Structure 1
């Protein structure tokens, strides 16, 4: 009833009010436009214009200007504590402003310590976190943060004093500083002296990549759960230090919208979120509605967005005892823009964000007792629910890849999840879990709901429409073998949970000196083995890869080496210091290097066999530019650059015709629209492949190769997929539901991978979880041995996919590779480096760079 009343008010008000309000541009940047005149303000606190030289909203500020103002008032006010908690990839400061009464700030350490131990007293303040502009081009929030900070620092009224006494307000003025500056510079470059509201003007239409993303073109609003980016890792430490009761997450949306605040669509709330959370969100919504009603500003709720994926800034709090609230303001994407609702100005958007910032504080203050009780009950009820489950926890193991195991453990620890090492081997379902490599996550702990969120393999849902991904299971993403444990009898665990520590350095014995061994072997299973290989190649070492297995004797014991093992033979090295390089680089990465004292093996290929293939250092061209997914390009760039230290040349696809492909060994084509590439360029690419080049392509990049007959397979057409769904009996109201059934928003499937293939070197299990976020289906090619990975009969592991699509995928290809002349083409319909946390499949990309010429699969023209 409440939300229907809201809708009726908005409809009654009509667009004319919005037009009038949006047209308020005269003196709009003055504080009197934003803040109430009824209160007095301390003259000791600088106004934004006094520090910046312009009023709020007159210009799109850079991050350093925003930070300069926040630093200025933090030095002036005893109500503010400014904390630098990290640096972005471009070395911009990440800061928090903690704002409260001087007494609360003096006791802040004690207040936060109480929250850690769940001993919050009746009179302890609640914590409200306001995070602005996680998408750098949604910049109205960052500008509103200055006004919120100024008001809390300078206002002298009774209400603000009550807020400061009873709340600790945390402001993150810019969640994405690198993206903010990319966007601010764009607008500044194209904004003229005469305001231009034409939506087609370049000021309102960014180039590639946009300011939405961070340095590596990641959407930071999807990274709260995944923690692949440094900004998120830094922020989460502070989040769990403050453990807020309410978090406001301030965004922008399309210019032709109005204003949105949660709750969103009720059926799209994650079932792990307590009903009370939704009720509190609705209660706070009344405060937002009142604030916007008083200004006669349009808004809506419950029509879009969802609270299902816990990796967003407005949903992560919901699984951590808080109430997260998403705010979306129609974006002017510049100074002003013509919209269906009239002229939309930057100042108008800033004030909307300010109004709902204050309504969040006002509502949280009035509901402070309820919020405090809810947080306490959240964790207590979680423990009770854990004890009702049919299993006690999760047991996981990884014996071959210490790096990937430690990355998994680290993510769990950052989420405050306790994980206990085994102290004795444990038998479960006729299988022995080694104490050396196995760990246990008990359900009965404070983060019960978050554990379920990370480990769940849900495949059935009340509502099949998803704003974001439907499956994100962390163990599957990192290819960590996990089992549910029904009972813990006989399970011996360490007294203390796992804690991150410096990995042991020193991979060789001191007695191993240059020339003392015939050759050295490096096993390929570890996640960092490709990084070590690239460093060795970059420094001139000759390295080969074993395409077949072999067994040698090391310190008197037989040791089996799988295909994919790297070999550094002393006799073929061309530089005198090669061994020093080998030892130094392996020590830095803590990867073992094993000495082999003879070229004669006791089983399998000998070390001089032609089955050892010399590896060439890759030189990679990544196709970018308008029409190419900046997210997927960023994911590939991040994996190669940040995790493997491989330089990547990013080239706009419109410039490809001007380049010599012979300068590169590999071309990577991620998802994108490549229809505008000319026939001449296609011929040029084909010729380069014939001469020995390698193309790795995923999703629509792979489909384009197939259309140009460079990839010898075909894809299911849209018409073929549409025929899987019967729409004859459906009504118009079923249209959205049918579209949702045809879509794979983000789902995890099981692929069967040929572990004998060089592209699968390093993988132990023939079943590999893969991530799919498109409905592209690649048919299994007729070329023998070209299918490296395919789907089985029932491939769905986690997330939603309609049964018709799952059945159509069955037995078809996930990864295909074959020759093109002396070159190779490698293609997949999956996203192997999705959001930087799919470390379980990323090695396929590394193998494509280093081992593409280690396989030979002829394809007929």
Structure 2
């Protein structure tokens, strides 16, 4: 009895602690004063046991609450499941409307689709549709899992629209719009945040910025399972969350889309107008619509006494964000950002405390105001949506690059990947079923083409055009700021041409193409095949694209015995095969080889050619030392601090999901002293490893490499390897080049308080005089740069002589000397270096001819250094064959030593 009483007292005490941990600020006010709510609609308290803003809801709680709302009001809210995260969590969106509009949701989608294609809908018919059609607004929240207030605000927005039927704002919204709410774009990241946050909570929530509650451990909740910043995944569509969301948007085509975020807790609230520059393929009508909705927010924020700002940050130039991608099907779109409490309470620099309830309330007000602003401008927004499509088609018809063509040539897999990706975006893509000519160029059957005289023509133009320019005035201002040693205002990458990143050749033609063709679907598979399945000697896979690369990884895991040729060869009869081509000898494999090859051909899209002779007339024979036996390597990579979370996640994703090969993630601390002998390849993603690793780690890595290990380093990871005390890579990171650097501070003496006098003849001279002589180059947000590739090394087998990489940051390295290794890829000359984007002239000059890929043998192993990251955002697919060589061919050569 005493034990039971003691247990009950303990449980009561624990419950009081938990209760204390979820208390809200005593000054919390109603989210929208003066509203009477229908008690038939369940509140947060009814379903979840706490009030809105009182606790950070888990992903499971978010879904549970929306399910309760649907059960209570099925005539006004309907839920849709649009994806499943890598960790198995559902992603949902809700449609909220009047009973009539909700019942007519499919009709509304069809009418919206008709507005989206003026080729089938005349202006008169469009006017009739606009008269009867509600506008659609899409509110999406928490693409970054630790930007927490949005999901709870999404739930309260849905509750308010359903329960506040007499509220004039709610009535206006429901009479004139369909509101789509995507409450949680990143459930895996939010789950990571909430679990770790509440694990740190004690008797009371701490508002201190240095408390454990306010400091997330690596990799933070911002990212999804593969640690992607999913607000940058809209172009490549690599993640299931993004794929499902884009499919849903393409289904409903909402005319107003808002992506709702959080920012630093000492900032207030940001909404449109956006900062400059704007993407030139956006229209003034789209920009004006978001400005008008922004003014509606200001009216409510002024009423409630909420601070806000506009225009200062968050530009609308890069087309791959959640607030920019929808503009290219005609929506008016924007980002909202609120200062985050990053928990229950946040102590601001001015001494005030921001509560979680504060942030949820502001996000709710902005959400409801967005729907209201859409309702108030319903007719104009729908008319602008239709006119956007009219303008896109007209612009495509008069463009000198009306049609983009992808010849059916070398990169067969890349062509198909890009064609189906564009179809996934909602672009009309065609594949020719016969040979044809366009603008004087001959194309074979199987070539793809995209006519920009279509509703998505502007999206094609902005993603296929080599160069999308920022305004001259904006660039002039950035150069002025640099001259004054101020930070530039370029927010993200300035080059993003998809054909360049996919290593796909495209040609432009000013005229429509006439040829028999078929429509390309988003899920069309690449057709592989086995030619001459009765071959008696061997089966060959030409090493030209990632269909062959994926075949290699699948074959290794299936236990197939195969070799890879270091050099190109010609078989008796004249058939030529590129360097890297795979040789699968019949005699070295099991009796079921052909069945396995047929299965893998269909799985990977590879073309496999059976041959009845091994007689080679040029290049290495099948039995040569230059035909290296491939074995399945054990691949590890650094995980956890100090690795960059996005670089680690992007790299793991590329290897596992694009190359199709498993990776063992090892925490960086364990790599310093752990037994690495079980692994053949170790990948170091971006990161400042010197922050954690010292002499012991260096010695451990050196022993492993000397014993036959392959060490791959990306971007900033090379800073550790090039440290003179580490000695794993004999190149050096450069300071910024300055013509006067030899004379700068020449007479300075650190031991003296005086120096020889100098003359400063201009303000520019003053700006130069205050720069340290040994300083890094100016940082680059991100451009596409051309690289040249050595064609006479086994590591670059089958790789094209020119590729494109993304260059960002300010790391520039010296070439490696011949007695240490070899430079296998390097940046092009100054005149040809920039492929797309805006690059500081000084960086362009200094980066020219500097190494991109360096190979340094050490003992029986080697170091392979990429001075920029080849897995950046997983959209540099044109580099994947080079990456495949760096893992699999390198491991084979290390073992051959």
TM-score, with structure 1 as normaliser: 0.90
CA contact 1:814–1:830 (8 Å) conserved in 2: yes
Matched, 1:104 2:120: no
Structure 2 counterpart of 1:484: 508
Structure 2 counterpart of 1:841: 879
Alignment of 1:512-591 (within 5 A): 512=533, 517-552=536-571, 558-573=574-589, 577=592, 580-591=595-606
Question: Bigger CA drift: 78-87 or 752-761?
Answer: 752-761
CA contact 1:552–1:596 (8 Å) conserved in 2: no
Alignment of 1:326-405 (within 5 A): 326-341=335-350, 342-405=352-415
Question: Bigger CA drift: 472-481 or 653-662?
Answer: 653-662
CA contact 2:501–2:875 (8 Å) conserved in 1: yes
Structure 2 counterpart of 1:221: 231
* CA 170–293 in structure 1, closer or farther in 2 if over 3 Å, else same: same
Q: List per-residue Cα deviations over 1:447-486 (Å, max 9, x = no partner).
A: 1211111112226533243211111111111111012213
Q: List per-residue Cα deviations over 1:354-387 (Å, max 9, x = no partner).
A: 1111111121111112211211221212222233
Structure 2 counterpart of 1:475: 499
Matched, 1:827 2:836: no
Q: List per-residue Cα deviations over 1:724-780 (Å, max 9, x = no partner).
A: 999952899xx99xx9992211110110112332232232x3111111122211222
Distance 1:130 1:422 in 2: 39
* CA 701–728 in structure 1, closer or farther in 2 if over 3 Å, else same: farther
* CA 518–792 in structure 1, closer or farther in 2 if over 3 Å, else same: same
Deviation at 1:82, TM superposition (A): 0.7
Alignment of 1:322-721 (within 5 A): 322-341=331-350, 342-426=352-436, 432-436=442-446, 438-458=447-467, 460-462=469-471, 463-464=474-475, 465-488=489-512, 491-494=513-516, 496-500=518-522, 502-503=524-525, 507-508=529-530, 512=533, 517-552=536-571, 558-573=574-589, 577=592, 580-676=595-691, 677-707=693-723, 708-718=726-736
CA contact 2:408–2:445 (8 Å) conserved in 1: no
Q: List per-residue Cα deviations over 1:605-641 (Å, max 9, x = no partner).
A: 3222221111231211211222311111111100111
Matched, 1:179 2:189: yes
CA contact 1:421–1:493 (8 Å) conserved in 2: no
Deviation at 1:34, TM superposition (A): 1.7
CA contact 1:817–1:827 (8 Å) conserved in 2: yes
* CA 397–666 in structure 1, closer or farther in 2 if over 3 Å, else same: same
From 81, 85, 90, give the equivalent of 2:87.
Answer: 90
CA contact 2:140–2:260 (8 Å) conserved in 1: yes
Deviation at 1:505, TM superposition (A): 5.9
CA contact 1:60–1:187 (8 Å) conserved in 2: no
* CA 730–444 in structure 1, closer or farther in 2 if over 3 Å, else same: farther
Structure 2 counterpart of 1:802: 840
Deviation at 1:278, TM superposition (A): 2.3
Provide structure 1 residue ranges, at least 5 long, that are not aligned to the other structure.
1-22, 857-861
Distance 2:338 2:776 in 1: 26
CA contact 1:134–1:220 (8 Å) conserved in 2: yes
1:328 alignment partner, SS class = strand
1:370 alignment partner, SS class = helix
CA contact 1:39–1:156 (8 Å) conserved in 2: no
Distance 2:442 2:100 in 1: 56
CA contact 1:217–1:631 (8 Å) conserved in 2: yes
Distance 2:277 2:766 in 1: 22
Deviation at 1:255, TM superposition (A): 1.4
Distance 1:353 1:150 in 2: 14
Question: Bigger CA drift: 235-244 or 454-463?
Answer: 454-463
CA contact 1:772–1:829 (8 Å) conserved in 2: no
Deviation at 1:190, TM superposition (A): 0.9
CA contact 1:60–1:188 (8 Å) conserved in 2: no
Deviation at 1:250, TM superposition (A): 0.8
Distance 1:535 1:378 in 2: 46
* CA 608–394 in structure 1, closer or farther in 2 if over 3 Å, else same: same
CA contact 2:329–2:455 (8 Å) conserved in 1: no
* CA 589–424 in structure 1, closer or farther in 2 if over 3 Å, else same: closer
Distance 2:636 2:526 in 1: 35
Distance 1:583 1:386 in 2: 43
Q: List per-residue Cα deviations over 1:27-72 (Å, max 9, x = no partner).
A: 74xxx62233x33322221111101111222222211111000011
Alignment of 1:742-781 (within 5 A): 742-763=778-799, 765-781=800-816
Q: List per-residue Cα deviations over 1:296-340 (Å, max 9, x = no partner).
A: 122111111111111111112222211112111111111111112
Deviation at 1:602, TM superposition (A): 3.7
Matched, 1:76 2:76: no
2:764 alignment partner, SS class = coil
Deviation at 1:841, TM superposition (A): 0.6
Distance 2:627 2:373 in 1: 68
Alignment of 1:55-204 (within 5 A): 55-77=51-73, 78-118=75-115, 119=126, 120-157=129-166, 158-204=168-214
CA contact 1:741–1:802 (8 Å) conserved in 2: no
* CA 473–741 in structure 1, closer or farther in 2 if over 3 Å, else same: farther
Structure 1 counterpart of 2:13: none
Matched, 1:816 2:825: no
CA contact 1:127–1:246 (8 Å) conserved in 2: yes
1:762 alignment partner, SS class = coil
* CA 537–424 in structure 1, closer or farther in 2 if over 3 Å, else same: closer
Deviation at 1:184, TM superposition (A): 1.1
Structure 2 counterpart of 1:6: none
CA contact 1:309–1:315 (8 Å) conserved in 2: yes
Matched, 1:791 2:788: no
CA contact 1:563–1:756 (8 Å) conserved in 2: no
1:748 alignment partner, SS class = strand
Distance 2:701 2:342 in 1: 38
* CA 539–376 in structure 1, closer or farther in 2 if over 3 Å, else same: closer
Structure 1 counterpart of 2:47: 51
Structure 1 counterpart of 2:817: 782
Distance 1:716 1:531 in 2: 37
Deviation at 1:854, TM superposition (A): 6.2
* CA 697–79 in structure 1, closer or farther in 2 if over 3 Å, else same: same
TM-score, with structure 2 as normaliser: 0.87
Report how many residues are paired. Answer: 818
CA contact 1:398–1:481 (8 Å) conserved in 2: no
Distance 2:418 2:527 in 1: 20
CA contact 2:424–2:521 (8 Å) conserved in 1: no
Provide structure 2 residue ranges, at least 5 long, that are not aligned to the other structure.
1-22, 116-125, 476-488, 745-759
1:117 alignment partner, SS class = helix
Deviation at 1:497, TM superposition (A): 3.1
CA contact 1:632–1:834 (8 Å) conserved in 2: yes
Deviation at 1:193, TM superposition (A): 3.0
Question: Bigger CA drift: 719-728 or 661-670?
Answer: 719-728
1:103 alignment partner, SS class = helix
Deviation at 1:205, TM superposition (A): 0.9
